[in-house]
Amino acid sequence: MASRRGIRERFRRVRLGAALVVTGLSLAAIWLVAGIQADAARIAVGREAAETLAVQRETLTGVLDKYRLLPPLLSRQHDVAALFRQEPDTGERMRARAKAREVASLSGAKDVAFLYPDGEVLASAHGFFLDRSPDREALIEAVRQGRLGRAAIAIDSDERAYAFASGVRDDLRLTGIVVVYVGFDEIEATWSLSTNPIFVTDPAGTIFLTNQPQWRLRPLHEIADDGLPERRFKVGAMAVPYLDLVRDLPLLDWRLHVLADARPVMEAQLTGGLMAALAALLAAALVALVVWRRERAVLGRRAERVAALRLERLVRDRTRALNATNRSLSSEIAERRQAEERLRKAQADLVQAAKLAALGQMSAALSHEFNQPLAAIATYAENAGEFLARGRDDLAGDNLKRIGQMVERMAELSRTLLSFARKPGTSTMPVPLAAVLDEAMILVGPRARKEGVALVVDERLRAIDVVGGRTRLSQIFVNLANNAIDALAGRPGAEIRVELEGAGDVVVVLVSDNGPGIPAEIGGTVFEPFFTTKEVGSGIGIGLSIAYSIARDFGGSIALRDGPQGGCVFAVSLRAAAAGRQAAE
């Protein structure tokens, strides 16, 4: 037998191994859950930024496309071509400048310039971008090669434009160049209204356009790290994490960036990690509890075995007292066997009592649910006999057909008799209230007429469909009507009204009577199984309980109200269905 110290040492190793396994699984779970939460938040944040990116791309390309064809059109105008046929004297330059200003004013361009093939400026509308920068030289070289020149030109952060250029030719000879400069002030002003930082980078990675003035004409690597999927951008003295969504602009050789705040992603990641950590902590506590209880059980069994060994030694040492002890034990065993026998008999009696109670409940339910159809069958059978005696075979056949329908209904009732114990969520479909109420009135009508009780049904209910099952819904109104008839029996002017209180997403049907009503002190218990105020033998108190259970299964409810003129009012609330849809249960 292992020593107590050996057992403790073995379980110490078990705890260590369990701690390592739980720690590893916990770290994996934290990493996985945090990643899933971060990915979900990243998708949500990036979706809005992607929409902004698509809109701004279309806006930028639309603005540039507006001016792309302007230089070729101007280069084909005779008055523009005539500017390059004369020597560049003062008058010629003034006419060229006037033409450039006219075009710039009408088109909204930032500047329009006329250049000689060697790059010398003939005239400029506003005098922007007249230096011989490498970008401008590349623009002129493209025109010399017979292509549409295009280039992004920047002097400083406030003077930036995109230039389109086209050659003026005389018999295929290049005589001049028309350059249109497109400004971005309006685009950047529009971007400034966005909460997302937006910028454009050129092939060298320099930020050419942006709604962040401090980033203009700065290399991207100076203001952002290379982290993925989140990058940190310098905003003032802070480094703010953003999701960087990028769209290429191939014709412009640019890249359009829209940044989305990545802090919600980090918060979601942190929240997911914390939730997983809490779950892991709970799992670790459960594992520790299981190991502890297992150790206590092993130690307990060891203690029992030690005690048994000590007892054996004590028995061997006390041989003389063994006979007396054996006699005492024999007597005690006999008593315990008698006690066990009595216990078995008591258990058998309890089982039999439980069986009888279950049988009684089943019999009560069967009796209650079949009483109404049986009463209707008796009435129709009596009527059929009267009609046969009078020679009215057609009416007798109709009553026999109704008896067949009642038998079919009893078969249906036997399948739905356990509705009180049925789980919510059984199949439902749109059911016309007209069919439900007609069936219920057929079942309770003969008894109501016998007891002198008038049945009044609101005609507005016939135009309404509800969600449920036809047979089980009719059970609700049959049970409510029968209870009302019991209360009204023998009272003059007795009346039961079935009325529409309201119809929207929820249809509320009121079943009221002008009987004595239900005392307030027992109003809260009327829907409990086997609660009844009737005399012994008149009812067992499951009708309202079954009706309440059926209404709840269909997503509705039944509530007891006080009648304005006395009596009882039961408000049956049911889910409304689309009008005109027929159900088949």
Of 3-17, 335-349, 466-480, 548-562, the range with the lowest mean pLDDT is 335-349
> Mean of the pLDDT values across residues 488-513?
89
pLDDT grade, residue 321 (50/70/90)? confident
Summary mean pLDDT of the chain: 80
**Percentage above 90 pLDDT, the chain:** 11
Q: Which pLDDT score is estimated for 425? A: 46
Q: Is the pLDDT of residue 509 over 90?
A: yes
pLDDT grade, residue 299 (50/70/90)? confident
> Mean of the pLDDT values across residues 500-510?
89
Where would I find the beta strands (DSSP E) of 504-545? 506-513
Q: Using one digit for the tens of pLDDT, what is the confidence trace for 344-362?
A: 676 445 434 433 443 454 4
Task: Please report, for the chain, the start and end positions of each structural domain, with discontinuous segments joined by +.
Answer: 4-65+264-304, 69-263, 332-410, 422-575
Q: Which pLDDT score is estimated for 279? A: 86
Higher-pLDDT residue of 409, 534: 409
Phi–psi pair at 287, nearest 5 degrees: -60, -45
Give which of 374, 573, 344, 576 is closest to 476, Cα–Cα. 573
Q: Which pLDDT score is estimated for 236? A: 66
- Give the burial string for 325-357 (b: 16+ CB within 10 Å, else e): eeeeeeeeeeeeeeeeeeeeeeeeeeeeeeeee
User: In CATH, what number does 69-263 get?
Assistant: 3.30.450.20
**Percentage above 70 pLDDT, the chain:** 85
Q: Which pLDDT score is estimated for 467? A: 92
Per-residue HEC secondary structure of 40-104 comes to HHHHHHHHHHHHHHHHHHHHHHHHHHHHHCHHHHHHCCHHHHHCCCCCCCHHHHHHHHHHHHHHH
Give which of 152, 157, 161 is closest to 124, Cα–Cα. 161
* Residue 102, both tokens: 């006219």
Give 329's contacts (C-beta < 8 A, 6+ positions apart). none
Q: Using one digit for the tens of pLDDT, what is the confidence trace for 112-148?
A: 999 888 888 888 888 876 666 667 788 888 888 888 8
The CATH number for 422-575, chosen from 3.20.20.20, 1.10.260.40, 3.40.50.620, 3.30.565.10, is 3.30.565.10
**pTM of model > 0.75:** no
- Cα 540 → chain centroid: 44
- Give the burial string for 99-109 (b: 16+ CB within 10 Å, else e): bbbebbeeeeb
Q: Is the pLDDT of residue 529 over 50?
A: yes
pLDDT grade, residue 433 (50/70/90)? very high
Give 399's contacts (C-beta < 8 A, 6+ positions apart). 380, 381, 383, 384, 387
Give which of 152, 114, 158, 111 is closest to 133, Cα–Cα. 152
Strand 506-513 and strand 495-503: pairing? antiparallel
Q: Which pLDDT score is estimated for 354? A: 36
Phi–psi pair at 500, nearest 5 degrees: -90, 120
Q: Using one digit for the tens of pLDDT, what is the confidence trace for 8-58?
A: 788 788 888 888 888 888 888 888 877 787 777 777 777 877 888 888 888
Q: Which pLDDT score is estimated for 362? A: 41
Q: Is the pLDDT of residue 557 over 80?
A: yes
